[in-house]
Amino acid sequence: MDRTPTVFERAIRGDSRPHTPVWIMRQAGRYLPEYRALRKKVDFLTATKTPELAAEITLQPMRRFPLDAAILFSDIMTPLEGMGVPVEFNPGPVISDPVRTPAQAAALRPLDPAATVPFVAETVRIVRAELRRDAALIGFSGAPFTLLCYLVEGGGSKEFMAPRRFLRAEPEAAAKLLGLLGDSMAQYLLSQAQAGADALMLFDSWVGLLDAETYRRHVVPVMRRTISAVREGTNLPLIYFPNRGGHLLEEVRGLEVDVVGIDWTVPLSTARGVLGPNQSLQGNLDPAALFGSETELSAAVGTVLAEARGSRGHVFNLGHGINRTTDPDRVAFLVDQVHEQSAGALET
């Protein structure tokens, strides 16, 4: 579709833009009273599987704040059901029958998004029709390693020892499972692109648990394969977020993504030092900064914007998901600060 590129898209390409675009990881969620009110009436799974509800939740933060992008309300675990793995939420994901053997891994089927998770594309269509034209809609999936973490562990964990063990004890089964997840997520992302998403994001929330050599050996090949499968089907911008992966950035440099998301533990200038000035970055305010005074928050925004200078493009975000006890008024202040402080600085 022919249309004017959004500020978000211009920032990613490094084109002239009126301000730095901003969105917030987990912007649709529990810190918003309107989300909590809706969730009193309907459980999380039903909300993700009912397009009208998922679209409404996606749009909630967009009505409150002048954010530059919306992110589809769903979960990285949502498509796994379509691969033969039932997932419950309490409130994090729970898989009652985790994958612990090569036979269990081999029993999973490739995802056919249209047949098994049609509600996701339908949500994208509804949101895109209702969202402001000058805001981008981000579709997303989990990255293969992070999904393997939940599949093998059976739920959340601090250390994810079971998947890290699986990678070493059953390397062939692990490689096959990662490949299946990568191919499936590429199809899943493409189905969101086809439905009208403006950008696609891969969340690698737990990849920081791996050392660089293990990442290079077990994860880089499947990331390359996943990224090229997405690239074959679309030229939408692709964002990769290797959470807590500061020590992995040399490996990440070789991945052909448009934007690398950086968590708050790595200064953007340090990330640029490894990834180079041509790599657009996303991030990376500490979510806890929203609990400081307005003066401190404003200064922290200034620091992130200054750190980003020198990179081709920058999308302002937190360095990880917003905490559920955050005051929404602080989010309003943050978004205004990003827009005000960056106004005019990136026009050519």
Which residues are known catalytic residues? 26, 30, 39, 75, 150
Binding of ligand 1CP by 27 (CB under 6 A): yes
Residue 241 near residue 261 (C-beta atoms within 8 A): yes
Question: Candidates 79-87, 91-99, 111-119, 310-318 — which segment interacts with ligand 1CP by CB under 6 A?
Answer: 91-99
Name the phi and psi angles at 62, rounded to 5: -70, -25
Residue whose Cβ sits closest to ligand 1CP: 156
Q: How far is the CB of 235 from ligand 1CP (least distance, A)?
A: 22
Instruction: Please choose, from the candidates 183, 39, 197, 182, the residue with its C-alpha nearest in 3D space to the C-alpha of residue 122.
Output: 197
Distance CA 55, CA 52 (A): 5
Q: Identify the bridge partners of residue 284 per DSSP, sorted by sequence position.
A: 317
Distance CA 57, CA 163 (A): 32
Sheet with strand 259-261: strands edge to edge: 69-71, 136-142, 199-204, 238-242, 259-261, 280-285, 314-318
Question: Candidates 85-93, 104-112, 192-200, 293-301 — which segment interacts with ligand 1CP by CB under 6 A?
Answer: 85-93
Q: Which is nearer to ligand 1CP, 49 or 312 (CB)?
A: 49
Distance CA 137, CA 157 (A): 30
Q: How far is the CB of 135 from ligand 1CP (least distance, A)?
A: 14
Distance CA 259, CA 140 (A): 13
Terminal Cα distance for the chain, rounded: 26
Q: Which of 33, 84, 86, 92 binds ligand 1CP (CB under 6 A)?
A: 92
Binding of ligand 1CP by 140 (CB under 6 A): yes
> Within 251-310, which residues bind ligand 1CP (CB under 6 A)?
none
> Within 40-59, which residues bind ligand 1CP (CB under 6 A)?
44
Binding of ligand 1CP by 145 (CB under 6 A): no
Token pair 């290797």 in the structure block, residue = 242
Q: Which of 10, 13, 26, 247 binds ligand 1CP (CB under 6 A)?
A: 26
> Within 309-328, which residues bind ligand 1CP (CB under 6 A)?
321
Q: How far is the CB of 4 from ligand 1CP (least distance, A)?
A: 25
Binding residues (CB under 6 A) for ligand 1CP: these are 25-30, 39, 44, 71, 73, 75-76, 89, 91-93, 140, 156, 203, 205, 243, 321
